[in-house]
A and B are shown apart, each in its own frame.
Chain A
Amino acid sequence: MFANRFITFFLCMAFAPTAVLCGCNSAPKVNEAEVSLKLRSIQTRSYDTTNANNALRVAMATLQDLGFVIDNADADLGTVSATKLDSAATKMTITVRMRGKTQILVRANAQYRLLAVTDPIFYQQFFTAYSKSLFLEAHEVDTAAPGL
Protein backbone atom coordinates (compact mmCIF):
# COMPACT_ATOMS: atom_id res chain seq x y z
CA MET A 1 0.00 0.00 0.00
CA PHE A 2 2.78 2.35 0.98
CA ALA A 3 4.76 1.34 -2.13
CA ASN A 4 1.75 2.18 -4.35
CA ARG A 5 1.44 5.64 -2.86
CA PHE A 6 5.15 6.14 -3.23
CA ILE A 7 5.01 5.28 -6.95
CA THR A 8 2.14 7.74 -7.53
CA PHE A 9 3.98 10.48 -5.66
CA PHE A 10 7.21 9.77 -7.55
CA LEU A 11 5.49 9.90 -10.96
CA CYS A 12 3.76 13.18 -10.10
CA MET A 13 6.90 14.86 -8.83
CA ALA A 14 9.13 13.63 -11.66
CA PHE A 15 7.00 15.11 -14.42
CA ALA A 16 5.43 18.08 -12.61
CA PRO A 17 7.77 20.71 -14.13
CA THR A 18 6.96 19.41 -17.62
CA ALA A 19 3.25 19.72 -16.98
CA VAL A 20 3.56 23.26 -15.63
CA LEU A 21 5.68 24.25 -18.61
CA CYS A 22 3.15 22.70 -20.98
CA GLY A 23 0.46 24.79 -19.32
CA CYS A 24 2.57 27.91 -19.79
CA ASN A 25 3.31 27.18 -23.41
CA SER A 26 1.21 29.71 -25.32
CA ALA A 27 -0.24 29.28 -28.77
CA PRO A 28 2.01 30.14 -31.69
CA LYS A 29 2.17 33.86 -32.46
CA VAL A 30 -0.45 34.81 -35.01
CA ASN A 31 0.11 37.40 -37.70
CA GLU A 32 0.78 40.49 -35.59
CA ALA A 33 0.05 42.93 -38.43
CA GLU A 34 -3.54 41.70 -38.61
CA VAL A 35 -3.96 41.89 -34.87
CA SER A 36 -2.50 45.36 -34.70
CA LEU A 37 -5.02 46.77 -37.19
CA LYS A 38 -7.92 45.57 -35.06
CA LEU A 39 -6.20 46.56 -31.85
CA ARG A 40 -5.43 50.00 -33.21
CA SER A 41 -9.11 50.78 -33.68
CA ILE A 42 -9.89 49.46 -30.18
CA GLN A 43 -7.18 51.72 -28.75
CA THR A 44 -7.88 54.88 -30.76
CA ARG A 45 -10.48 57.65 -30.67
CA SER A 46 -10.68 60.99 -32.47
CA TYR A 47 -11.86 64.25 -30.95
CA ASP A 48 -12.99 67.52 -32.52
CA THR A 49 -10.29 69.77 -31.07
CA THR A 50 -6.88 70.98 -32.16
CA ASN A 51 -5.55 71.69 -28.66
CA ALA A 52 -3.10 68.80 -28.30
CA ASN A 53 -1.49 70.28 -25.18
CA ASN A 54 -4.85 70.34 -23.40
CA ALA A 55 -5.58 66.80 -24.61
CA LEU A 56 -2.32 65.62 -23.01
CA ARG A 57 -3.00 67.48 -19.77
CA VAL A 58 -6.46 65.94 -19.59
CA ALA A 59 -4.88 62.51 -20.26
CA MET A 60 -2.59 63.00 -17.25
CA ALA A 61 -5.51 64.16 -15.07
CA THR A 62 -7.61 61.15 -16.15
CA LEU A 63 -4.77 58.74 -15.43
CA GLN A 64 -4.32 60.29 -11.97
CA ASP A 65 -8.08 59.97 -11.42
CA LEU A 66 -7.82 56.27 -12.26
CA GLY A 67 -5.04 55.69 -9.72
CA PHE A 68 -1.99 55.93 -11.98
CA VAL A 69 1.24 57.75 -11.17
CA ILE A 70 2.69 59.50 -14.23
CA ASP A 71 6.12 58.16 -15.32
CA ASN A 72 6.92 60.70 -18.01
CA ALA A 73 5.45 62.98 -20.64
CA ASP A 74 6.62 64.89 -23.69
CA ALA A 75 4.59 67.81 -25.01
CA ASP A 76 6.49 67.96 -28.34
CA LEU A 77 6.02 64.28 -29.13
CA GLY A 78 2.58 64.13 -27.54
CA THR A 79 3.15 61.19 -25.21
CA VAL A 80 2.26 60.39 -21.61
CA SER A 81 3.17 57.18 -19.76
CA ALA A 82 1.90 56.13 -16.35
CA THR A 83 1.92 53.15 -13.99
CA LYS A 84 -0.71 51.87 -11.58
CA LEU A 85 0.33 49.62 -8.73
CA ASP A 86 -2.36 47.45 -7.17
CA SER A 87 -1.66 43.79 -6.67
CA ALA A 88 0.23 44.00 -9.98
CA ALA A 89 1.60 46.73 -12.22
CA THR A 90 -0.44 48.14 -15.09
CA LYS A 91 1.45 50.44 -17.43
CA MET A 92 -0.27 52.73 -19.88
CA THR A 93 0.87 55.07 -22.66
CA ILE A 94 -1.26 57.74 -24.33
CA THR A 95 -0.24 59.45 -27.54
CA VAL A 96 -1.92 62.50 -29.03
CA ARG A 97 -1.45 63.70 -32.60
CA MET A 98 -3.17 65.91 -35.13
CA ARG A 99 -5.53 64.40 -37.68
CA GLY A 100 -6.18 66.87 -40.49
CA LYS A 101 -6.85 70.43 -39.38
CA THR A 102 -9.79 69.97 -37.05
CA GLN A 103 -9.22 66.77 -35.12
CA ILE A 104 -6.78 65.00 -32.86
CA LEU A 105 -6.20 61.27 -32.56
CA VAL A 106 -5.74 59.83 -29.09
CA ARG A 107 -4.31 56.35 -28.79
CA ALA A 108 -3.93 54.39 -25.56
CA ASN A 109 -2.17 51.09 -25.01
CA ALA A 110 -1.60 49.17 -21.82
CA GLN A 111 0.19 46.19 -20.39
CA TYR A 112 -0.71 44.21 -17.29
CA ARG A 113 2.32 42.50 -15.77
CA LEU A 114 3.95 41.03 -18.89
CA LEU A 115 0.78 40.84 -20.94
CA ALA A 116 -0.51 43.27 -23.56
CA VAL A 117 -4.04 44.45 -22.73
CA THR A 118 -6.28 43.73 -25.72
CA ASP A 119 -9.68 43.72 -24.02
CA PRO A 120 -11.88 46.41 -25.70
CA ILE A 121 -13.74 47.01 -22.42
CA PHE A 122 -10.58 48.29 -20.75
CA TYR A 123 -10.09 50.93 -23.46
CA GLN A 124 -13.79 51.79 -23.53
CA GLN A 125 -13.64 52.50 -19.81
CA PHE A 126 -10.58 54.68 -20.25
CA PHE A 127 -12.04 56.71 -23.12
CA THR A 128 -15.34 57.16 -21.28
CA ALA A 129 -13.48 58.73 -18.35
CA TYR A 130 -11.20 60.69 -20.70
CA SER A 131 -14.06 62.10 -22.81
CA LYS A 132 -15.85 63.20 -19.65
CA SER A 133 -12.79 65.14 -18.49
CA LEU A 134 -12.15 66.57 -21.97
CA PHE A 135 -15.82 67.65 -22.26
CA LEU A 136 -15.83 66.23 -25.80
CA GLU A 137 -17.42 63.28 -27.49
CA ALA A 138 -15.14 60.46 -28.67
CA HIS A 139 -15.43 59.25 -32.26
CA GLU A 140 -14.63 55.67 -33.18
CA VAL A 141 -11.88 55.54 -35.78
CA ASP A 142 -11.87 53.54 -39.00
CA THR A 143 -8.57 51.64 -39.07
CA ALA A 144 -8.44 51.75 -42.86
CA ALA A 145 -8.78 55.54 -42.91
CA PRO A 146 -5.76 57.57 -44.08
CA GLY A 147 -3.68 59.26 -41.42
CA LEU A 148 -4.21 56.59 -38.77
Chain B
Amino acid sequence: MAHLSFFKHIASVGLFYALAGLIGCASDTVPPDALLMKEPTTEIRQRQARRYATTDEKQVIIAAAQLLQDLGFNVDNSEKDLGLLVVSKDRSAVDGGQVAGQIAVAVLFGVRVAVDKQQKIRASVVTSLSADQKAIDVRVTFQRLVWDDRGQLSKLERLDDPEMYQDFYIKLSKALFLEAQEVG
Protein backbone atom coordinates (compact mmCIF):
# COMPACT_ATOMS: atom_id res chain seq x y z
CA MET B 1 0.00 0.00 0.00
CA ALA B 2 2.87 2.28 0.93
CA HIS B 3 4.55 1.49 -2.42
CA LEU B 4 1.40 2.36 -4.31
CA SER B 5 1.20 5.69 -2.53
CA PHE B 6 4.84 6.42 -3.37
CA PHE B 7 4.26 5.71 -7.09
CA LYS B 8 1.18 7.91 -7.01
CA HIS B 9 3.36 10.76 -5.77
CA ILE B 10 5.92 10.20 -8.50
CA ALA B 11 3.24 10.01 -11.20
CA SER B 12 1.52 13.19 -10.00
CA VAL B 13 4.75 15.14 -9.77
CA GLY B 14 5.94 13.85 -13.16
CA LEU B 15 2.68 14.85 -14.87
CA PHE B 16 2.86 18.27 -13.29
CA TYR B 17 6.44 18.78 -14.53
CA ALA B 18 5.49 17.72 -18.05
CA LEU B 19 2.61 20.23 -18.13
CA ALA B 20 4.74 23.01 -16.64
CA GLY B 21 7.44 22.31 -19.21
CA LEU B 22 4.87 22.50 -21.99
CA ILE B 23 3.63 25.85 -20.72
CA GLY B 24 7.21 27.08 -20.76
CA CYS B 25 7.64 25.85 -24.34
CA ALA B 26 4.36 27.28 -25.59
CA SER B 27 5.56 30.87 -25.57
CA ASP B 28 8.53 29.92 -27.77
CA THR B 29 6.60 29.21 -30.95
CA VAL B 30 4.45 31.18 -33.37
CA PRO B 31 0.86 29.86 -33.47
CA PRO B 32 0.30 28.52 -37.02
CA ASP B 33 -2.78 30.64 -37.74
CA ALA B 34 -1.38 33.82 -36.16
CA LEU B 35 0.38 34.91 -39.32
CA LEU B 36 -2.33 34.13 -41.83
CA MET B 37 -2.58 37.09 -44.16
CA LYS B 38 -6.22 37.46 -44.95
CA GLU B 39 -7.06 39.36 -48.10
CA PRO B 40 -8.94 42.53 -47.22
CA THR B 41 -12.57 42.82 -48.06
CA THR B 42 -13.61 45.60 -50.41
CA GLU B 43 -15.69 46.89 -47.52
CA ILE B 44 -12.62 47.53 -45.34
CA ARG B 45 -10.76 49.21 -48.18
CA GLN B 46 -13.76 51.42 -48.99
CA ARG B 47 -14.01 52.43 -45.35
CA GLN B 48 -10.33 53.35 -45.08
CA ALA B 49 -9.73 55.06 -48.44
CA ARG B 50 -11.02 58.04 -50.43
CA ARG B 51 -10.10 59.68 -53.74
CA TYR B 52 -9.64 63.43 -54.23
CA ALA B 53 -9.65 65.18 -57.62
CA THR B 54 -6.25 66.83 -57.33
CA THR B 55 -2.72 65.83 -58.33
CA ASP B 56 -1.05 67.92 -55.62
CA GLU B 57 0.04 65.12 -53.27
CA LYS B 58 1.99 67.47 -51.00
CA GLN B 59 -1.09 69.61 -50.39
CA VAL B 60 -3.09 66.52 -49.41
CA ILE B 61 -0.38 65.38 -46.94
CA ILE B 62 -0.18 68.85 -45.38
CA ALA B 63 -3.97 69.01 -45.00
CA ALA B 64 -4.00 65.56 -43.41
CA ALA B 65 -1.22 66.57 -40.99
CA GLN B 66 -3.11 69.69 -39.94
CA LEU B 67 -6.33 67.76 -39.50
CA LEU B 68 -4.60 65.12 -37.36
CA GLN B 69 -3.06 67.89 -35.24
CA ASP B 70 -6.60 69.25 -34.77
CA LEU B 71 -7.55 65.77 -33.54
CA GLY B 72 -4.73 65.85 -30.99
CA PHE B 73 -2.21 63.63 -32.77
CA ASN B 74 1.54 64.24 -32.90
CA VAL B 75 3.46 63.53 -36.08
CA ASP B 76 5.98 60.73 -35.45
CA ASN B 77 7.26 60.33 -38.95
CA SER B 78 6.72 61.52 -42.51
CA GLU B 79 8.14 60.78 -45.96
CA LYS B 80 6.94 63.13 -48.66
CA ASP B 81 8.51 61.12 -51.50
CA LEU B 82 6.37 58.11 -50.58
CA GLY B 83 3.28 60.02 -49.44
CA LEU B 84 3.47 58.86 -45.83
CA LEU B 85 2.45 60.42 -42.54
CA VAL B 86 2.67 58.54 -39.22
CA VAL B 87 0.97 59.97 -36.13
CA SER B 88 0.08 58.95 -32.60
CA LYS B 89 -1.49 60.23 -29.38
CA ASP B 90 -1.46 59.00 -25.78
CA ARG B 91 -4.69 59.24 -23.82
CA SER B 92 -6.39 57.88 -20.73
CA ALA B 93 -8.16 54.54 -21.16
CA VAL B 94 -9.99 54.57 -17.84
CA ASP B 95 -13.50 53.26 -18.26
CA GLY B 96 -16.09 53.90 -15.55
CA GLY B 97 -17.80 50.52 -16.02
CA GLN B 98 -14.51 48.66 -15.80
CA VAL B 99 -13.54 50.47 -12.57
CA ALA B 100 -16.97 49.67 -11.07
CA GLY B 101 -16.40 46.01 -12.04
CA GLN B 102 -12.99 46.07 -10.38
CA ILE B 103 -14.54 47.34 -7.14
CA ALA B 104 -17.31 44.72 -7.28
CA VAL B 105 -14.81 41.88 -7.78
CA ALA B 106 -12.63 43.22 -4.95
CA VAL B 107 -15.61 43.36 -2.59
CA LEU B 108 -16.96 39.91 -3.55
CA PHE B 109 -13.75 37.91 -3.87
CA GLY B 110 -11.13 40.07 -2.20
CA VAL B 111 -9.09 40.02 -5.42
CA ARG B 112 -7.82 43.09 -7.20
CA VAL B 113 -8.19 42.82 -10.98
CA ALA B 114 -6.34 45.07 -13.40
CA VAL B 115 -8.22 47.80 -15.26
CA ASP B 116 -7.21 49.75 -18.35
CA LYS B 117 -5.36 52.93 -17.62
CA GLN B 118 -3.58 54.35 -20.66
CA GLN B 119 -3.79 53.99 -24.44
CA LYS B 120 -1.73 54.93 -27.46
CA ILE B 121 -3.66 55.49 -30.69
CA ARG B 122 -1.54 55.22 -33.84
CA ALA B 123 -2.42 56.03 -37.42
CA SER B 124 -0.70 56.05 -40.77
CA VAL B 125 -1.90 58.06 -43.76
CA VAL B 126 -0.67 56.94 -47.16
CA THR B 127 -1.31 58.94 -50.33
CA SER B 128 -0.78 57.80 -53.91
CA LEU B 129 -1.53 58.92 -57.43
CA SER B 130 -4.56 57.09 -58.81
CA ALA B 131 -4.14 54.64 -61.70
CA ASP B 132 -5.42 57.21 -64.22
CA GLN B 133 -2.97 59.79 -62.76
CA LYS B 134 -5.78 62.33 -62.33
CA ALA B 135 -6.47 62.07 -58.60
CA ILE B 136 -4.89 61.33 -55.25
CA ASP B 137 -5.95 58.28 -53.23
CA VAL B 138 -5.73 58.63 -49.46
CA ARG B 139 -5.81 55.67 -47.09
CA VAL B 140 -5.76 55.95 -43.33
CA THR B 141 -5.50 53.06 -40.82
CA PHE B 142 -5.85 53.33 -37.05
CA GLN B 143 -4.76 50.96 -34.27
CA ARG B 144 -4.36 51.20 -30.51
CA LEU B 145 -2.37 49.73 -27.64
CA VAL B 146 -3.86 49.74 -24.12
CA TRP B 147 -1.95 49.36 -20.85
CA ASP B 148 -3.58 48.44 -17.54
CA ASP B 149 -2.89 49.99 -14.14
CA ARG B 150 -0.12 47.42 -13.56
CA GLY B 151 1.73 48.67 -16.62
CA GLN B 152 0.97 45.51 -18.65
CA LEU B 153 -0.22 45.64 -22.26
CA SER B 154 -3.84 44.58 -22.03
CA LYS B 155 -5.11 45.20 -25.55
CA LEU B 156 -3.66 45.37 -29.06
CA GLU B 157 -6.17 46.07 -31.77
CA ARG B 158 -6.94 47.53 -35.17
CA LEU B 159 -9.64 50.20 -35.00
CA ASP B 160 -12.43 49.42 -37.42
CA ASP B 161 -15.26 51.74 -36.40
CA PRO B 162 -16.75 53.02 -39.71
CA GLU B 163 -17.85 56.29 -38.10
CA MET B 164 -14.27 57.14 -37.15
CA TYR B 165 -13.12 56.83 -40.76
CA GLN B 166 -16.16 58.68 -42.08
CA ASP B 167 -15.57 61.54 -39.68
CA PHE B 168 -11.89 61.72 -40.68
CA TYR B 169 -12.74 62.07 -44.38
CA ILE B 170 -15.55 64.58 -43.82
CA LYS B 171 -13.01 66.80 -42.06
CA LEU B 172 -10.29 66.17 -44.67
CA SER B 173 -12.70 67.10 -47.47
CA LYS B 174 -13.48 70.37 -45.69
CA ALA B 175 -9.76 71.12 -45.24
CA LEU B 176 -9.04 70.42 -48.92
CA PHE B 177 -12.22 72.14 -50.24
CA LEU B 178 -12.71 68.96 -52.28
CA GLU B 179 -15.33 66.28 -52.31
CA ALA B 180 -14.16 62.75 -51.45
CA GLN B 181 -14.94 59.90 -53.84
CA GLU B 182 -15.11 56.31 -52.66
CA VAL B 183 -12.30 54.02 -53.80
CA GLY B 184 -12.47 50.34 -54.66
Contacts and interface: CB of A to CB of B under 8 A. Distances in A.
Interface string B72-88: 00001101011110100
A138 to B, nearest CB: 15
Nearest to B9: A8
B126 A119 contact: no
B30 A115 contact: yes
A82 to B, nearest CB: 8
A19 B21 contact: yes
A72 B25 contact: no
B40 A85 contact: no
Interface size of A as a range: 35 or more
A115 B77 contact: no
A117 B124 contact: no
Contacts of B30: 112-113, 115, 117, 119
Q: Is the interface of B mostly helix, strand, loop or mixed?
A: mixed
A98 interface: no
A129 interface: yes
B95 to A, nearest CB: 19
Nearest to A87: B156
A22 to B, nearest CB: 6
A105 B12 CA distance: 56
B124 A90 contact: no
A71 B77 contact: yes
Contacts of B123: 69
A56 B128 CA distance: 11
A86 B38 CA distance: 12
Contacts of B37: 66, 122, 125-126, 129
Contacts of B25: 23-24
A5 to B, nearest CB: 9
25 contacts: A8-B8, A8-B13, A11-B9, A12-B12, A20-B21, A23-B21, A23-B25, A56-B82, A57-B83, A64-B124, A64-B141, A67-B40, A69-B123, A75-B81, A83-B143, A85-B145, A85-B156, A85-B157, A86-B34, A86-B156, A87-B156, A90-B34, A119-B30, A122-B37, A125-B37
